[in-house]
Structure 1
Amino acid sequence: MKVVVIGGTGLIGTNLVARLAEHGHEAVPAAPSTGVNTLTGEGLKEVLQGADVVVDVSNSPSFADDDVMAFFRTSTGNLTEAAKEAGVGHYVALSVVGTDRQPDVGYFRAKVAQEQLITESGLPFSIVRATQFFEFAGGIADTSTTDGVVHLPGAGVQPMAAADVSAAVGRTAAGSPLGGITEVAGPDVLGLDEWVRTVLTARSDPRQVVTDPQAPYFGAVPGPEDLLPGPGAHLAETTLAAWLAHDSRP
């Protein structure tokens, strides 16, 4: 079947396109660099022609509250309308575990708005909520660093490898529409501070990670379980230790 992957040139999208192709599907990466722009609508009609499934793994170029909300509302609105016009039979979107528990985080509010647009679109859909990616640990450390010290709360997280996220999204895209939300997560529960500290240590990053219960995570202090998946989540197999063994970054 033909699967159009919006955001198909990014971290998740590139891996997803390759996986779908390996399983015999016609996987088409769609992004501004390929002539498809969900904000302006450019190229949407053309790329969705004959598509059986559309998968949205795109992301906002800016995480500022107003920017990210405008991105997901505009992009998702354009994409759902184009998908309906093209007769797409399955709309799949990647979202984030805990979006509905962190209303003070602008990015999460925008993802909730995206999910609502999809559920109200009338399209057969599946939403895959994933936990944080192992690959994001360095970026989280950077945004949480003050005077060379990383401040993070000990809130529970269940991070996972980006490759496992792609696999989960691919399985969902190849299946029947769920008409709801499924969650995927890593195999182990860690403290947010513990996770980032482990990655920095493995990379010989000299920054100290201080456990600070009041430290914000992208603008809000998460509760102990706000970032954890609920019962019934699909757990990936790749552990943090296994991922670090193949981590090529310094």
Structure 2
Amino acid sequence: MKIAVVGGTGLIGSKVVKNLNAAGHEAVPCSQSTGVDIITGEGVGKAVAGADVVVNLTNSPTFDAASAAFFRTSMDNLLAAAGKGGVRHVVILSIVGAELVPELDYYRAKVLQEDILKAGPIPYSIVRATQFMEFMDAVLSWTSDGDIVRLPATPIQPIAAQDVADAVAEVAAGPPLNGTRDIGGPDVYTLDELGRITLRARSDSREVVVDDTAGMFAAVRGDALTTKGDARLAPTHYTDWLS
């Protein structure tokens, strides 16, 4: 199959392209660096024309209220081009539990992206992942003040980017789900515990203090960001990934 991977040069997209090509598909990475601008629409029609599947892995450059406009515009442009180009399956990557954290602008925007896809005319699949292991350094930096890192005791189920890419590639190569597949890492930690494990593994002497008002994840209630039911669990453990 020919599969256009929009956002195909990023953390997840580059791995998805590699997986699909290794499996014998023709996966084409599309991004601003290849002349595809999903916001202005420049190059989108040409990129998806003739593709059997389009995988959209683009992301908003901000996590604030402006993210909603990004996802609305990008999905409108992509679905219009995909419809004209004869695309038979559109795949996006979203977040486990996003609808349970309406206090966060970015999470509301991801739910909006899902809703736009569901309401569109093209068969679709939504892959929802838990928090990426690769983002832990950024999380630590948000609430770090000298020798102290303040983190809420929010349950987090970290998943490796490669495991996310494997799941997205599998779904892209299969029939449309016309629904959602949740994936998560094999272990659940509280965010403060995850912070301590990370700092200890890197011989970082900063101290983690529990502060349930600190950072973006302070808005999360209970175990909203962990998988439930028939979700698929990835094989990579955080401690193994760290090492």
Identify whether the pair has TM-score above 0.5, normalized to the shorter chain: yes
Q: What secondary structure is seen at the aligned counterpart in 1 of 2:137?
A: helix
- Map 1:103-182 → 2, pairs under 5 A: 103-182=102-181
Q: Pick the aligned partner of 2:223 from 218, 225, 229.
A: 225
Separation (CA, whole Å) in 2 of partners of 1:183 and 1:87? 27
Which residue of structure 2 lines up, in the alignment, with residue 197 of structure 1?
196
Q: Compute the RMSD of aligned alpha carbons.
A: 1.2
Q: What secondary structure is seen at the aligned counterpart in 2 of 1:42?
A: coil
Separation (CA, whole Å) in 1 of partners of 2:29 and 2:202? 32
The alpha carbon displacement at 1:148 in A equals: 4.1
Separation (CA, whole Å) in 2 of partners of 1:149 and 1:237? 32
CA-to-aligned-CA distance 1:115-145 (integer Å, 9 cap, x gap): 0100001210000000001100000111122
Q: Pick the aligned partner of 2:236 from 221, 235, 238.
A: 238
Q: How many residues of Structure 1 are paired with residues of Structure 2 in the alignment? A: 243
1:45 equivalenced with 2:45 (yes/no): yes
Q: Which amino acid aligns with 2:151?
A: L
CA-to-aligned-CA distance 1:172-229 (integer Å, 9 cap, x gap): 00111011111000001111111122112212223221112333425x4212211111
Q: Which amino acid aligns with 1:222?
A: V
Q: What secondary structure is seen at the aligned counterpart in 2 of 1:11?
A: coil
Question: Does the 8 Å CA contact 2:94/2:129 hold for their aligned counterparts?
Answer: yes
Question: Does the 8 Å CA contact 1:138/1:200 hold for their aligned counterparts?
Answer: no
Question: Does the 8 Å CA contact 1:12/1:165 hold for their aligned counterparts?
Answer: yes
Separation (CA, whole Å) in 2 of partners of 1:14 and 1:136? 17
CA-to-aligned-CA distance 1:17-40 (integer Å, 9 cap, x gap): 001000001010000011001001
Q: What secondary structure is seen at the aligned counterpart in 1 of 2:216?
A: coil
Q: Which amino acid aligns with 1:176?
A: P
Separation (CA, whole Å) in 2 of partners of 1:143 and 1:230? 28
Which residue of structure 2 lines up, in the alignment, with residue 21 of structure 1?
21
TM-score (norm 2): 0.96
The alpha carbon displacement at 1:49 in A equals: 1.4
Separation (CA, whole Å) in 2 of partners of 1:42 and 1:197? 45
Q: What secondary structure is seen at the aligned counterpart in 1 of 2:208?
A: strand
Q: Which amino acid aligns with 2:67?
A: V
Q: Which amino acid aligns with 1:31?
A: S
Separation (CA, whole Å) in 2 of partners of 1:119 and 1:56? 14
The alpha carbon displacement at 1:147 in A equals: 4.3
Q: What secondary structure is seen at the aligned counterpart in 1 of 2:65?
A: helix
4+ residue runs of structure 1 moved beyond 6 angstroms?
A: none
Separation (CA, whole Å) in 2 of partners of 1:172 and 1:144? 36
Separation (CA, whole Å) in 2 of partners of 1:33 and 1:109? 28
Q: Any stretches of 5+ residues in structure 2 without a counterpart?
A: none
Q: What secondary structure is seen at the aligned counterpart in 2 of 1:140?
A: helix
Which residue of structure 2 lines up, in the alignment, with residue 36 of structure 1?
36
The alpha carbon displacement at 1:150 in A equals: 1.4
Q: Any stretches of 5+ residues in structure 1 without a counterpart?
A: 246-250
Question: Does the 8 Å CA contact 1:154/1:224 hold for their aligned counterparts?
Answer: no
